[in-house]
Structure 1
Amino acid sequence: MDPLFKLNTCLTNPDLSGQQKLEMVCATVHKLIPGADRVSLWLFNESKSQVSSLICFDATSKSWCDQITLRREDFGIYFDAILNREFVDAPDAATHPDTKCFNESYFTPLNIQSLLDYILHRNFEPQGILCCESVGRQVHWSEEDKQTLKKIARSCSFFFNLSTN
């Protein structure tokens, strides 16, 4: 079965919990996007002054990570980039102008080298972020990777009310 069709079926299944749907999104992204060693979904607060992780899957350790919150006052350049452009593609995350703000507190401790993010919407307004991170190596995300992430993010935005989890 096509993984995107399977994901859409999962997202519309009323018998699955919100947690199960989040886990399916992470598993699908990891499966379809080479180099996506960590996959996470994030939810903005109402004022877009912070974003909190709903779920994070680390394929390198095969574990689910603790939830964290990032504040705009600490990472304003990234917040501006993702909210204005809807996409952040940082193959060298440590030097990329939109993501280097994460080096000390996030990238270095977790050995994250590359990042690919796409915004999640609800009613055409930014609601959250779907995030891919590579661990221990740089990844130059292909156009196909970007389009796949965009499709998955749109499916999540269309079918999944993130604020209910």
Structure 2
Amino acid sequence: MSHLPIILILSITLALLICNFKIRCKLDKQNKTLQKDGFNSQAIYQRMKKQNSSRATLSKMDFNKPMLEVLKQLSQNSSKTLNVGRASIWRYSHNKDELQCLNLYEQEPDTHTQKGILSVESYPKYFKAMEVDRILNINNARTDVRTHEFLEDYLKPLNIYSMLDLPILINNEVYGVLCFEQIGEPRVWREDEIGYGTSIADLIALAIES
């Protein structure tokens, strides 16, 4: 009987050690997840510092230059700021049934192109989503109902997984779309990234109006 208190103490101590170990493992896992997702304060600070620097640089551009040159600079700078593989600028047709690419910047192989047309006939759900939602922050474009129709002839061939599409507004009317596309793996778009993208769309509108 004299050994019971010692056994009890050892049992409690062991239980506490196991509990502490489980808590530590859980906290380590949560911390790794937060760091991976970019929720730690240092990551947020670095992202926003980079975004603010980009805004400052682009806002000082000469908007009287040829429009294509301005659009190239806006798409390239914003692509590198968000570290995203593709950034493109699109213009709606008069009756909003087509989107024409004004400029596409691809980090690999560091090129600009001005070709491509998307039609409402081919992608009705996407056009409807842009009309209703305005901003599409899609983490997995391959499974999202709004962009799944791009899967076989656009997303898979170009290795695109995530899309962030924002409206370009001129005089409160939707002129076109600014599209960021993540290559290689899905991506969660952060609020600060969406806000940054919106500010770039505003600069594009300014360039087009100039």
Superposition TM-score, scaled by structure 1 size? 0.90
What CA deviation, in whole Å up to 9, does each residue of 1:16-62 have, x standing for no partner? Answer: 2111101111122112213x210000000010000010110110221
When the two chains are superposed, the root-mean-square deviation of aligned CA atoms in Å is: 1.7
Q: Which residue of 1 aligns with 2:127?
A: 79
The answer as to whether partners of 2:75 and 2:87 remain within 8 angstroms in 1 is yes
Q: Which residue of 2 aligns with 1:69?
A: 117
Q: How far does residue 66 in structure 1 lie from its aligned partner after superposition?
A: 5.0
Identity %: 23
**Pairing 1:124–2:172 present:** yes
Q: Which residue of 2 aligns with 1:108?
A: 156
Rg larger for: 2
The answer as to whether partners of 1:32 and 1:148 remain within 8 angstroms in 2 is no
Map 1:127-146 onto structure 2 (within 5 A). 127-146=175-194
Map 1:1-165 onto structure 2 (within 5 A). 2-10=53-61, 12-14=62-64, 16-34=65-83, 36-65=84-113, 67-157=115-205, 159-161=206-208
Query: 1:65 and 1:140 mapped to 2: Cα distance?
Result: 27
Superposition TM-score, scaled by structure 2 size? 0.71
Unaligned runs of 5+ in 1: none
Higher RCO (CA-CA < 8 Å; seq separation 6+): 1
What CA deviation, in whole Å up to 9, does each residue of 1:99-125 have, x standing for no partner? Answer: 111001111110101100101011111
Q: Which residue of 1 aligns with 2:13?
A: none
The answer as to whether partners of 1:118 and 1:153 remain within 8 angstroms in 2 is yes
What CA deviation, in whole Å up to 9, does each residue of 1:63-109 have, x standing for no partner? Answer: 22351000001111101111222111111110011111100111111
Query: 2:53 and 2:137 mapped to 1: Cα distance?
Result: 26
The runs of at least 4 consecutive aligned structure 1 residues that moved more than 2 Å come to none
